[in-house]
Amino acid sequence: MNPLTDAAHADGQQAVLTPVAQDLRAFNTLGLASHTHAFVEIDDAAQLPALAQLAREYPGLLVLGGGSNMVLPSQVNMLVAHMRLRGIRLLDTTADHLLIEAAAGERWHEVVAHTIAQGWPGLENLALIPGQTGAAPVQNIGAYGVELKDRFDSVVAYDLHEESWVEMDHAACAFAYRDSIFKHHPGRWIITAVRFRLPRAWAPVLDYPDLQRHSALAAAREAGNVTAQQIFDAVCEIRIRKLPDPAVLGNAGSFFKNPIVDAATHIKLAAEHTGLVAYPQADGNVKLAAGWLIDQCGWKGKALGRAGVHAAQALVLVNLGGSSAADIMALARAIQADVMTKFGVVLEPEPIVVT
């Protein structure tokens, strides 16, 4: 049986899942102490009908991949399903695009690296984002000028409400900035595979300031021969320099979304705050750099109890050792309050806060 989508058509005896107790500290990149009494691992898509039946016995279902975008409480009372589905394949080739499918349990960075190695460019700006592939559409991950929705074709998912397999296209996923339909209906769809439509007529995306300032890319751009591998390498270098390794210092990457304001608000803020970092959007609104706002409030490198703000990147909240979800969220609320007081701007967390 193919571990990706063929399981959607599988017949035969239904799998049996037996929940066990599990320490979840290793299943979230913040490294928060967390525990569940009901944990199962999904390594075959044919197990999902059994998971749907089992989930009826619990107050909810939490699907965990790499846990890179979650804040877990000390006790998770839901059924927790850890996705281990693996596989990457080329589904189709046309004159215009390549259609690539990756299983939900594949580490996202390894998928990006694999596509580049195979000569399938298009995902290179999204290199080194932590987590698993199944979580990428949930968050509509994005970095360095590219969002997942820009390369997205569809997902294969199991609808727990209907207990049936579905394929959801771009419109069905309702993508927005760090948002999708999956965030608004948690526990309904379990994504088993993600499909990407990569353009055959590839063009580098180099508009992001960090990429424009990168010396190796600048030289390649001047020579007119920028490659996807060069962008991949540059993005990895920049991310390593700016963001802490979760294996060394627990974190969930960027903790807050960059707030979007209207043009009039931007003009007012720019007049009041010299050096305001902002990016005009196609719809006339303006995206503000949340890290800059937090830095201006004096939080960079500071701590509140056992949670802190990374010294090199104010957008990253870190576990200083023994942090709980309560510690992280207390720090987040303090930062939000200060940004609101100083700038009148609302900061929204990026991670899913499990309650």
Across the beta sheet with 286-288, what order do the strands follow?
A: 260-261, 286-288, 278-280
CATH number for 251-349 (one of 3.30.1490.100, 3.90.78.10, 3.30.365.10, 3.40.50.1380): it is 3.90.78.10
- Quickly list H helices, 146-262: 170-173, 181-184, 209-213, 215-223, 228-242
Please check whether residue 279 is in contact with residue 286, taking contact to mean a CB–CB distance below 8 angstroms: yes
CATH 3.40.950.10, applies to 6-83: no
Catalytic annotation present for 350: yes
As a whole number of angstroms, the distance between CA 133 and CA 85 comes to 10
CA distances from 115 to 7, 32, 184 (A): 24, 32, 30
At 224 the pLDDT is 85
Total-model pTM:
0.88
For 19-45, write each residue's pLDDT tens digit.
Answer: 999 999 999 999 999 999 999 999 999
Catalytic annotation present for 41: no
Matching CATH topology for 6-83 and 251-349? no
As a whole number of angstroms, the distance between CA 40 and CA 51 comes to 9
Q: Catalytic: which of 154, 254, 323, 324? A: 254
At 191 the pLDDT is 98
At 13 the pLDDT is 54
- Name the DSSP letter for residue 229: H
As a whole number of angstroms, the distance between CA 346 and CA 43 comes to 40
At 4 the pLDDT is 46
Note the CATH number of domain 88-199.
3.30.465.10
For 6-19, write each residue's pLDDT tens digit.
Answer: 544 444 456 789 99
Domain ranges of the chain: 6-83, 88-199, 251-349
Q: pLDDT in tens for each of the 355 residues of the chain?
A: 344 445 444 444 567 899 999 999 999 999 999 999 999 999 999 999 999 999 999 999 999 999 999 999 999 999 999 999 999 999 999 999 999 999 999 999 999 999 999 999 999 999 999 999 999 999 999 999 999 999 999 999 999 999 999 999 999 999 999 999 999 998 899 999 999 999 999 999 999 989 999 998 988 888 889 999 999 999 999 999 888 999 899 999 999 999 999 999 999 999 999 999 999 999 999 999 999 999 999 999 999 999 999 999 999 999 999 999 999 999 999 999 999 999 999 999 999 999 9
Q: What are phi and psi of 15, to 5 degrees?
A: -65, 155
Q: Catalytic: which of 178, 195, 197, 239? A: 178
As a whole number of angstroms, the distance between CA 157 and CA 160 comes to 9
